[in-house]
Amino acid sequence: RLSTTASSSPSTNNTPSTTTPKPTIIVVGLGPGNPRQITLEAWDALTTPGARVHVRTAQHPTLAGLPPSVHLTTFDHVYERTKRLEDVYPSIAEELITFSLAAAADADAAIAAAIAIA
């Protein structure tokens, strides 16, 4: 899941503090296949409003137990285009890093626009 957390800069001289979104990647296990067996922490990470949830495959049985509001992006296309199994995870990691960097750039642009308007 890719999330955005806020970090605040300390304020000095009565200057208001600024809040900068900080994209993070949280990796959680989906458990053995029963949606009731994932941890509460994993459930919270997956079902947080606005969370961008990326899963290795749409074929995992736990996914059927997630609320319909959870939007999933799968990496099934990586399995389909990769000839060797050992290349799957590096390809997934590369895509997640690229996605995270793009999300960070979008967040920076939104902050710059908000500062310019203020």
Q: What SS3 state is found at 37? A: helix
pLDDT means over runs of 10, the chain (118 residues): 44 50 75 90 90 90 92 91 90 88 76 59
Q: What is the pLDDT of residue 44?
A: 92
How far apart, in Å, are the Cα atoms of 8 and each of 18, 45, 46, 54? 6, 22, 25, 27
Model confidence pTM above 0.85: no
What is the rounded CA–CA span in Å between residue 57 and residue 72?
Answer: 10
Q: What is the pLDDT of residue 22?
A: 62
Q: What is the pLDDT of residue 29?
A: 86
